[in-house]
């Protein structure tokens, strides 16, 4: 197999993306640094210059997906700020990010060691941003404290569930979700009662 030409940063990203592909197609235990190098058409020495171990590769994959996911969520609300409209934008961004990258969803939620929690040591950046966004929005619209946790959990569950459907094998093409997700969320979103907005 001929070796491909990569720039330093491009090779690292290519190895990460190929690693995700192998894991999702064949399972976590099938991925080795050796077969990853072969799949990318590079020398073992080139791979080891980026990842000293399999654990280092797994960590890099988690970080790679997390950074992209967090960036997408943050970008989605730059114009709206912490408002109900912004929450709608986050929902659209969440679903479409994984609809366009289903292998990311499967790795993060089924293959990785990531834990979702509120303790500093357990914070997952995209989840933490989403939760803090809703806290700030609740404060701005004077949303009742007794409803906040239930509302947050309901929104997260709805968006996560819709994403799970979007990535199912055999469903409609991604472009269909790109066209419909906005209407789907607007029709089904749990809108905040106007009596709570001051």
Each residue of 4-32: b (16+ CB within 10 Å) or e? eebeeeebbebbbbbbbebbbeeeeeebe
Q: Write the pLDDT tens digit of every residue in 68-90.
A: 999 999 999 999 999 988 998 99
Residues forming CATH 1.10.357 domain(s) in the chain: 61-196
Q: At what angle do helices 145-166 and 84-100 cross, to 10 degrees?
A: 30
Residue pair 140/82 in contact by the 8 Å Cβ criterion: yes
Domain 61-196 class? mainly alpha
Q: Write the pLDDT tens digit of every residue in 116-151.
A: 666 655 678 999 999 999 999 999 989 999 999 998
Residue 138: closest CA among 90, 56, 198: 198
CATH 1.10.10.60 is right for the domain spanning 1-52: yes
Residue pair 90/132 in contact by the 8 Å Cβ criterion: no
Full-model pTM: 0.82
Residues of the chain short of pLDDT 50, as ranges, are 1-3, 8, 191, 194-198
In whole angstroms, what is the distance from residue 130 CA to residue 159 CA?
Answer: 12
Q: Which residue has the tokens 């905040």?
A: 192
Residues forming CATH 1.10.10.60 domain(s) in the chain: 1-52
Token digits for 36? Answer: 């990853």
Q: What percent of the chain shows pLDDT beyond 70? A: 83
Report how far Cα 163 is from the mean position of its chain's Cα atoms: 10
């Amino acid at each position: 197999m001929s070796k491909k030409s990569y720039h330093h940063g491009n090779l690292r990203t290519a190895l990460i993306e190929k690693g995700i592909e192998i894991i999702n197609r064949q399972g976590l235990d099938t991925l080795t640094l050796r077969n990853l190098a072969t799949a990318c058409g590079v020398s073992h020495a080139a791979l080891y210059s980026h990842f000293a171990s399999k654990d280092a590769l797994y960590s890099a994959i988690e970080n790679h997906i997390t950074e992209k996911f967090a960036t997408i969520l943050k970008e989605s609300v730059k114009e709206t700020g912490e408002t109900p409209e912004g929450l709608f934008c986050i929902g659209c961004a969440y679903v479409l990010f994984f609809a366009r990258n289903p292998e990311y969803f499967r790795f993060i939620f089924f293959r990785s060691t990531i834990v979702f929690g509120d303790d500093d040591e357990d914070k997952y950046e995209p989840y933490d941003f989403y939760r803090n966004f809703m806290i700030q929005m609740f404060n701005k619209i004077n949303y009742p404290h007794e409803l906040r946790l239930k509302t947050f959990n309901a929104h997260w569950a709805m968006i996560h569930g819709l994403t799970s459907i979007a990535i199912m094998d055999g469903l409609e093409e991604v472009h269909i979700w790109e066209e419909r997700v906005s209407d789907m969320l607007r029709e089904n979103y749990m809108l905040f009662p106007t009596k709570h907005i001051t």
